[in-house]
Chains A and B, each alone.
Chain A
Amino acid sequence: MPTTTSRDQGPDLHTPLNAAPLTHGQLPRRAPQSVFLAALVAGIALLLSGWNVAAAAIVAGFGYAVVVYAWSRAVEGPRKATDRLVTAVVTGAFLLALIPLISVVFTVISKGAPRFDDQFFTYSMRGVVGEGGGAYHAIMGTLIITGLAALISVPIGLLTAIYLVEYGRGKLARAITFFVDVMTGIPSIVAGLFAYALFALIFGPGVRMGIMGAVALSVLMIPVVVRSTEEMLKIVPNELREAAYALAVPKWRTIVKVVLPTALAGIATGVTLAVARVIGETAPLLVTVGITSSDNFNPFDGRMATLPVFSYYQYVTPGVPPDPALNRAWTAALTLIIIVMVLNLAARLISRLFAPKTRG
């Protein structure tokens, strides 16, 4: 705000500081938009004249911020100018974060599409050298191992959440809450090492089994299930519980018949998201399940293939010529990203369609 008062003479405590008028210079309404367009055009011009994409974008972005700031400072004063600058920076940061998302999706689709065919989904890699082959064995392996992980994690996670919300109190509950939070931060590779160490003690070193992968994934999945279920159970209104108690329903039946069904949609959403989170895990499976090129659907017997690990090995050990393997790696990545996105979408749908109306 341009101050017209006597700032330089020290404050006169008896007249108001603010003889400033209510109206002062304002940028035209479309000013930021037109500057943005100008910056865009300038950026494209730089690009066409042979600049690197990143460099052109950076220059255009800076140009936009500087012009808006300077123009606003001249017309509207420094406070408003800073406000506009921050708006530009914050919006720019958001757009910047979208670039990798778009780039990742675009890359995976364009590179994964060539081998996204029947053969990929019906063949394993048994005896395949060079062209052809598929990831049938890996897709099945991923489904089996993730399914097993869910089978382990959901009951434990659900019961823990019930304990925390319905029974828990005192030190034990606080400790569990805290360590569940901490557990969400365990690096996935450490979860894999844990499963390996556990099974190595029983079966001796060098052991590889599907179930080991499931155990490793469970370590990662349990805390997610606990946290989301806990949130959902907390939303269930206490009146419902008290209504059931008033009808002389025992506590455990109240939980099973009243509380859980009310929260079911939310819990299903949470479990779906948890599955989505672990289904793409690579590192723990790399050290526990390994890789194989044939079908093995028995999680208690030796190495299995999984989609992420399949993708990894196809990429890092492509053989000669490398292209068929690289294509298979990208198609596996595409399949994986589709599975994850579908799971995420399903989770949103479940919560949107079945959620009890808690928000106004």
Chain B
Amino acid sequence: MPSSTERTRAHRAPQRPGDRVFAGLSTGAGVLILVVLAGVAAFLLTEAWPALVAPAEDIPGGEGVAIYIWPLLFGTLLSAFLALLIAAPLAVAIALFITHYAPRRIAQALGYLIDLLAAVPSIIYGLWGIAVLAPLSVEPSEWLAENLGFIPLFAGPATSTGRTMLVAVIVLAVMILPITSAVVREAFRQTPRLHEEASLALGATRWEMIRMAVLPFGRSSIIGASMLGLGRALGETMAVAIVLSVSGGVTFNLISSGNPKTIAANIALDFPESTGIAVNTLIASGLVLFAVTLLVNMAARAVINRRREFSGAN
């Protein structure tokens, strides 16, 4: 669309001062965004630097930045991946329900309903997680520890507080569900009617039509949306900070009282009380989080955008 308006003025007509100012302003705003993003990286790096060069024993824990951040990174990745594992299939199913199963008249309203899940502030999910979900999880956790204890994830012993990684993961899954399903929903909605009809005309049932036409068409969007959800889960702070009872350490055990921290939650918990090199260390961990989410998000966007071009060519 911009190109067609541009073409009309391709002859470099003399520019009016008003035009020049306005074009300058809007270009400036765009460039500012790039500057801000670069600034985020630069300022974090500046503030993290003292921790990166400090002697190991000055870092909280006394063993250097890498040793300090590693368990946090582990906790972050573990919680985010597990949350995605729950959320991604649900998101696809919800997107399918709204685009292909729900009666068309109420489909849009149902979409809003799911979007409302995204509107709930994360602090409230945290409170909900610890007040409602955690007590509910105790009994099933004990059952899991008893019956499926041979799986490392459920090794137990189950805590009686319910403030476990399992609950944090479920809360995270609920939180990333709306964004993930919204992106997938958009892709499913754009499935060419032609291809849907082609499979129906061959005598496909609704599910067979979805498998032949809708899912292949939306595949890269599903991947992209999942990564987007992963990015959200990696950076989610408050819900994890409130729910998780932490003791550091690296463990896959989801239902015990000893849970690994996540980077974001650790910052929220420790930052207000920290001074000096501890603050720099926290910022260094934030920098790691920033780098990880940036990579995940860039990859997600690249995947989604590639699909957009591909479908445009069709």
A residues at B contact (CB < 8 Å): 52-55, 79-80, 82-83, 86-87, 89-94, 96-98, 100-101, 103-104, 107-108, 111, 155-160, 162-169, 172-173, 175-176, 178-191, 193-194, 196-198, 200-201, 205-206, 219, 222-223, 226, 234, 238, 241-242, 245, 250-253, 255-256, 276-277, 279-283, 286-287, 290, 308, 311-312, 315-316, 329-330, 333, 336-337, 340-341, 344, 348
Interface pair B271/A287, CB less than 8 Å apart: yes
In Å, the complex CA distance between A276 and B271 comes to 26
Interface pairs A-B: 9 shortest CB-CB? A187-B235, A280-B121, A93-B93, A185-B297, A159-B29, A252-B22, A163-B26, A283-B237, A197-B43
Contacts of B210 in A (CB 8 A): 86
Q: List 22 A-B contacts (CB under 8 A).
A: A87-B206, A91-B97, A94-B97, A96-B90, A101-B113, A104-B125, A167-B27, A172-B27, A173-B30, A176-B31, A179-B37, A185-B297, A189-B237, A219-B40, A242-B8, A251-B9, A276-B119, A277-B119, A286-B271, A315-B242, A333-B123, A341-B116
In Å, the complex CA distance between A70 and B128 comes to 38
In Å, the complex CA distance between A94 and B117 comes to 12
User: Given A93-B97, A167-B27 in contact, is the A190-B235 Cβ separation under 8 Å?
Assistant: yes
In Å, the complex CA distance between A159 and B297 comes to 24
Residue of A nearest to B304 (CB): A181
In Å, the complex CA distance between A101 and B125 comes to 10
Interface presence of B198 (CB below 8 A): no
In Å, the complex CA distance between A103 and B128 comes to 8
B residues at A contact (CB < 8 Å): 1-6, 8-9, 16, 18-19, 21-23, 25-34, 36-37, 39-40, 43-44, 46-47, 89-90, 93-94, 96-98, 101-102, 110, 112-114, 116-117, 119-128, 131-132, 136, 139-140, 174, 177, 181, 205-208, 210, 228, 231-232, 234-238, 241-242, 264, 267-268, 271-272, 275-276, 279, 282-283, 286, 289-290, 293-294, 296-298, 300-301, 305
Contacts of B136 in A (CB 8 A): 53-54
User: Given A86-B207, A280-B124 in contact, is the A94-B293 Cβ separation under 8 Å?
Assistant: no
Interface pair A94/B93, CB less than 8 Å apart: yes
CB < 8 Å A-B pair total:
300
Contacts of A337 in B (CB 8 A): 120-121, 124
Residue of B nearest to A93 (CB): B93
In Å, the complex CA distance between A54 and B122 comes to 24
Interface pair B18/A252, CB less than 8 Å apart: yes
Contacts of B279 in A (CB 8 A): 205-206
Interface pair A97/B94, CB less than 8 Å apart: yes
Q: Taking the nearest CB of chain A, how far is it from the CB of B111, in angstroms?
A: 11
Q: Is the interface of A mostly helix, strand, loop or mixed?
A: helix
In Å, the complex CA distance between A252 and B18 comes to 7
Q: Taking the nearest CB of chain B, how far is it from the CB of A163, in angstroms?
A: 4
User: Given A181-B301, A282-B237, A286-B268 in contact, is the A90-B96 Cβ separation under 8 Å?
Assistant: yes
Contacts of A341 in B (CB 8 A): 116, 119
Q: Is the interface of B mostly helix, strand, loop or mixed?
A: helix
Q: Taking the nearest CB of chain B, how far is it from the CB of A162, in angstroms?
A: 5
Contacts of B293 in A (CB 8 A): 185-187, 190
Interface pair A250/B123, CB less than 8 Å apart: no
Interface pair B123/A282, CB less than 8 Å apart: yes
Partner of A179, one of B33, B228, B286, B289: B33
In Å, the complex CA distance between A281 and B121 comes to 7
In Å, the complex CA distance between A157 and B268 comes to 28
Partner of B44, one of A165, A193, A206: A193
Interface pair A197/B46, CB less than 8 Å apart: yes
Q: Taking the nearest CB of chain B, how far is it from the CB of A3, in angstroms?
A: 13
In Å, the complex CA distance between A245 and B13 comes to 13
Partner of B34, one of A87, A179, A286: A179
Interface pair B275/A205, CB less than 8 Å apart: yes
Contacts of B205 in A (CB 8 A): 79-80, 82-83
Interface pair A90/B26, CB less than 8 Å apart: no
Interface pair B93/A206, CB less than 8 Å apart: no
Interface pair B139/A52, CB less than 8 Å apart: yes
Partner of A222, one of B33, B112, B121, B267: B33
In Å, the complex CA distance between A69 and B161 comes to 39
Residue of B nearest to A178 (CB): B301
Interface pair A245/B8, CB less than 8 Å apart: yes
In Å, the complex CA distance between A213 and B89 comes to 36
Residue of B nearest to A347 (CB): B119
Interface pair A206/B275, CB less than 8 Å apart: yes
Interface pair A226/B127, CB less than 8 Å apart: no
In Å, the complex CA distance between A206 and B273 comes to 10
Partner of A194, one of B19, B33, B40: B40
Contacts of B235 in A (CB 8 A): 185-190
Interface pair B40/A186, CB less than 8 Å apart: yes
Partner of B140, one of A52, A183, A344: A52
Residue of A nearest to B140 (CB): A54
Interface pair A186/B290, CB less than 8 Å apart: yes
In Å, the complex CA distance between A180 and B93 comes to 29
User: Given A83-B205, A185-B231 in contact, is the A180-B44 Cβ separation under 8 Å?
Assistant: no
Partner of B33, one of A52, A103, A226, A277: A226
Partner of A166, one of B2, B116, B125: B2
Q: Taking the nearest CB of chain A, how far is it from the CB of B262, in angstroms?
A: 10
Contacts of B207 in A (CB 8 A): 82-83, 86-87
Contacts of A191 in B (CB 8 A): 40
In Å, the complex CA distance between A245 and B5 comes to 10
Q: Taking the nearest CB of chain B, how far is it from the CB of A339, in angstroms?
A: 9
Interface pair A111/B8, CB less than 8 Å apart: no
Contacts of B231 in A (CB 8 A): 185, 187
